[in-house]
Structure 1
């Protein structure tokens, strides 16, 4: 709010492919796919046409109780067919935050109906971002999103993002009989782009299985070809109990999210008398949003963006690593998924008083949008970006760093 109060708003008027235009007609490369979501690029008329066809036939209707609609069923079946979850069931929502809320509540409710109501504790990891609803805020791995709101959801804790041993130690500290679930992103996204060690998720899956803890993967950022597959976590060869998705499922053309739930977790609610899960969202299974998602998935498959994204990942990695030698840069994190983080040095941030917001502003003035967080600049472009456009993105970011360094 303070940013808007200080000056004029940056008004985006149209978009096409990887490009945005403002009210002055100036063009910008969308180096973040908006908020990590526009995987197929802007302006895809196929999605707009699908939305028009569906909204002209059945705009929206609830899927509470036994109500349903064709697009919701078709999308759920399509997602289930590709999910790395045993005997999958799909619950649809309007976005990532709602999906995390659903997964957290379902985890606690599952243990209650299984006769272990004391299993309420939720563990997450440093740097993890899980939306900003009630549970999402409470399990955030970043203090800046948790502080200042009074008491949040209780029975939560955070462990170091890069240590499976720390997860096991925390389960033992809390007591396995009290731990409901562990939440993790395949690659930490908004917290700074931190890929896991090669064996991290193998160990995590083993530990969760050992103590009966539900393993919940937050694939909101990593899914739908951003990591070369459907949900991101497939890259590490494990099968979680739930997968949370949103963003790239519709490339943001309409709001949509959901969770894929294993049959084991779903079974007591389908087949147990009186085991109601009293939870739902108004726009769950929205037929027009589902039609947009189906058209988006058609593009992902028809253009084989699952394979293309791996090539984009490699080129982006090489280009970004060229920034590692810049005097203001401490570290470049890239190479796992079409995303990257450029960390500024402590000397630049505290010694010279440089902010990532300054670098962001310089890059935008030169026609490239990146995402500033307190110590890093993040990039996550649409998967349809070309090599030339990647080089333009990175060279512009380098020029922005040069300009800020010269000013300080």
Structure 2
């Protein structure tokens, strides 16, 4: 058992593969790939070497306006070669929230320069997490991230995440002449791991957007770069969105990096027509060292074929976490689409007994496993190099944590805690 308390600082001092160590020397299984991003695992020296080599040649320089650098151009070409977008172009950023703001501003600006300035409304889904920047906070599908900040960006609305009919009804309610874009994750991640309601969902969504002249923006920040077995996750559903937002797994978090892949049609007014500059950019977008990290990370994804490996892990994780479905404290298990899962506590545990996911999280951490607590569930999203034995260890530890928390609330002594992950 590791010594953890609710107020104690948890200091991570080093990491390797799927493992973390704290400042006491205790080891932990990183069951969340940090914040959903360390797809290739920790401690990849080839990424560090690539960054070092780049910084000895060109440490940093802006790519704003007509300035460019080799790693940024090379990364852009590599990403567009795999993007399920017609005639793709890339706008690089420093992360997911920044990319969402970029896509939202571009959607509104696109309609403005093509003669439809009234099309400013943005639609998103319940549970959708789109970062916490200005537009992201405004379209996020979780009210707790919106409350307390005063007025946010207007002309936004949120629909149920599992209803094509609700999307069309909302477009008609607002008026297609007023709607700019619809934002959706291939699998809702931080909002609780909710896959689409069926394989036909995104095809139907894309058709509704096309029929009403609404841009379809896919937020692949969590789902991209092999977490769903493909480059951007949305390929599993055979649709071609107008924009794809990416970050996290593009560099496995080794350095901040993100971007927006834009269709040629959306880019055309800014790319080819004079007088329509897209006046948006950030200081560190296209940072050569960050792009070098991204290129080295993509090399690992391809060389080790983590796209195929992740599909095998997806099935293994699904089988393992579903063993928890019969636990008295578990209400639902969601898994099987991508290397991610949610173990939701039962209403009886949460609402009647007053048990919190934070308690389970701390109990699991004391046993050497890091999970991510959200209000009603524990989320799992490990690095894509995790083994079957490590998955079993993760799930077994979570079961022990559930048992211990339940026993504590009953006033009983918990049973044997099991291995601490050392």
Normalised by the length of structure 1, the TM-score is 0.98
Q: What displacement does 1:46 show?
A: 0.5
Q: Whole-Å Cα distance in 2 between the matches of residues 29 and 8 of structure 1?
A: 19
Pairwise mapping of residues 75-90 of structure 1 onto structure 2 (< 5 A)? 75-90=75-90
2:413 — aligned with what?
none
Shift of 1:271: 1.5
Change (3 A) 1:391 1:129: same
Aligned match of 1:292? 293
Deviating more after overlay: 266-275 vs 365-374: 266-275
Partner secondary structure for residue 343 of structure 2: strand
C-alpha separation between the residues in 2 aligned to 1:64 and 1:279?
A: 9
SS state at 1:319 partner? helix
Tell me the secondary structure at the aligned position of residue 240 of structure 2.
coil
In structure 1, how many angstroms separate the alpha carbons of the residues matched to 2:408 and 2:372? 21
Contact 2:92 2:285 in 1 (8 A): yes
What is the CA-CA distance between 1:8 and the residue it aligns to?
2.4
The match for 1:337 is 338
Aligned-CA RMSD value: 1.0
Cα 1:243/1:349, change in 2 over 3 Å: same
| Superposed displacement of residue 5, structure 1 | 12
Secondary structure of the residue aligned to 1:21 is strand
- Give unmatched runs, 5+ long, in structure 1: none
Partner of 1:35: 35
Secondary structure of 2:245's counterpart equals: strand
Q: 1:189, 1:379 → 2: CA distance?
A: 10
C-alpha distance in 2 between matches for 1:130 and 1:314: 27
1 CA distance for matches of 2:5 and 2:264? 49
Residue 322 of structure 1 aligns to a residue whose secondary structure is helix
| Alignment match, 1:228 | 229
State the alpha-carbon separation in 2 of the partners of residues 72 and 49 from structure 1.
17
Give yes or no for the alignment of 1:175 onto 2:175: yes
Displacement over 3 Å in runs of 4+: none
* Aligned positions of 1:208-357 closer than 5 A: 208-357=209-358
Between the aligned partners of 1:133 and 1:235, the Cα distance in structure 2 is: 28
Superposed displacement of residue 198, structure 1: 1.4
Which digits, 9 at most, give the CA deviation of each residue in 1:293-352, with x for residues without a partner?
A: 000000000000000000000000000000000000000000000000001111100100
Secondary structure of 2:108 counterpart: helix
Alignment correspondent of 1:205: 206
Whole-Å separation in 2 of the counterparts to 1:234 and 1:15? 32
Q: Structure 1's 5 and 144: CA in aligned 2 closer, same or farther, altered over 3 A?
A: farther
User: Offset at 1:7?
Assistant: 2.3
Report the secondary structure of 1:295's partner residue.
helix
CA distance in 1, matches of 2:141, 2:7: 31
SS at match of 2:344: strand
CA distance, structure 2, for counterparts of residue 199 and residue 164 of structure 1: 10
Q: Cα distance 1:346–1:320, how it changes in 2: closer, same or farther (>3 A)?
A: same
Task: Kindly report which structure 2 residues correspond to 1:107-118, keeping only aligned pairs within 5 A, or say none.
Answer: 107-118=107-118
Map 1:75-224; keep pairs closer than 5 Å.
75-196=75-196, 197-224=198-225
Secondary structure, in 3 states, of the residue corresponding to 2:324?
Answer: coil
Distance 1:362 1:6 in 2: 10
Distance 1:13 1:91 in 2: 34
What whole-Å deviation, never above 9, does each CA across 1:55-112 have from its counterpart, x for those lacking one?
1110100001111000000000000000000000000000000000000000000000
Specify the alignment match of 2:47 in structure 1.
47
| Cα distance in structure 2, aligned partners of 1:274 and 1:6 | 56
Q: Does 1:9 align with 2:4?
A: no
Measure the CA separation in 1 of the matches of 2:45 and 2:314. Answer: 26
In the aligned structure 1, how far is the partner of 2:239 from the partner of 2:165? 18
Q: Deviations over 1:231-275 (max 9, x none)?
A: 000000000000000000000000000000000000000112211
* Aligned residue pair count: 405
Cα distance, 1:5–1:106 mapped onto 2, change above 3 Å = farther
